Amino acid sequence: MKSIKFGCLILGLTVAGCLLVGCKTSRSTTPVMPFNGKNLDNWQVNGDKSKSKWVVGIAEMSAEDPNLLIAKKGEGEMINLAKRHRDSLDIYSKEKFGDCRIELEVMVPKGSNSGIYVMGEYEIQVLDSFGKEKMENSDMGAIFGAAPPPVNACKKPGEWQRYVIEFVAPKFDAEGKKIANAKFIKVELNGQVLHSNLEMPTLTPGGVTGKEAATGPIMFQGNHGPVAYRNIRITDLPNVK
């Protein structure tokens, strides 16, 4: 009986210690699908909902105006039918994430602009940069305002493009003081790695709250132009430093 009690005591102290200092625990490897392909019930817009142009359907670049998208009847794609700058709203998931791997596909028509905000605060640029030779920190694949992509991996407007993003959230102590910066472990676009182990001392402009936190939603910029997203999968990263 004494040995059992002693073992329970050690186990209890170990668990308590982990809670205090932030020991790594096992995480789920099952992907979360924040977009169910049928509706936007798991999402909310940043502003007056009546001004949102986000719909569910099948996205296609307009044959009449290649600067626009149209939505055909169907499921599986979330589409922003904005026609111009400020014509719609940013949209973000109700669920929040920390250290994670994000896989998704995105489509932009000619000349359009959007962004993927990891944790709602760190933007990976989405832009029609097809054919551009000198890439800047506002082009497709850039960490907006922080780091341009080393190569142009952008496809033609109207084609689906695939991002794979591995991200480590900032860490905070028990009093809420930041003790470790956020970091992009990897940003891959259409099979080409654009960023590796890029530390983020601060967030990028235009996010959900403008504040760093241990968890946050995924946000898609919708107030800059038409864009579509699909096959969004978010998985907890395995234990990372």
Would the pLDDT of 3 be above 70?
no
Average pLDDT, the chain: 90
- Note whether 91 and 39 are within 8 A (CB): no
Q: How many separate domains does the chain show? A: 1
d(CA 188, CA 15): 37
Give the CATH number, domain containing residue 77: 2.60.120.560
The parent domain of residue 30 ranges over: 26-236
Mean pLDDT of 115-136: 97
> Per the domain annotation, does 125 fall within a domain?
yes
Q: 41-69, pLDDT tens digit by residue?
A: 999 999 999 999 999 999 999 999 999 99
> Per the domain annotation, does 1 fall within a domain?
no
> Per the domain annotation, does 202 fall within a domain?
yes
Q: 67-123, pLDDT tens digit by residue?
A: 999 999 999 999 999 999 889 999 999 999 999 999 999 999 999 999 999 999 999
Would the pLDDT of 156 be above 50?
yes
> Per the domain annotation, does 17 fall within a domain?
no
d(CA 17, CA 52): 46
How many helices (H) and strands (E) in the chain?
Answer: 1, 14
> Per the domain annotation, does 151 fall within a domain?
yes
Contacts of 163 (CB under 8 A, 6+ apart): 102, 103, 104, 105, 106, 116, 124, 187, 188, 189
pLDDT computed for residue 12 by the predictor: 44
> Per the domain annotation, does 191 fall within a domain?
yes
Name which residue leads in pLDDT, 159 or 14: 159
> Per the domain annotation, does 14 fall within a domain?
no
> Per the domain annotation, does 15 fall within a domain?
no
Alpha helix stretches (DSSP H) within the chain: 2-21
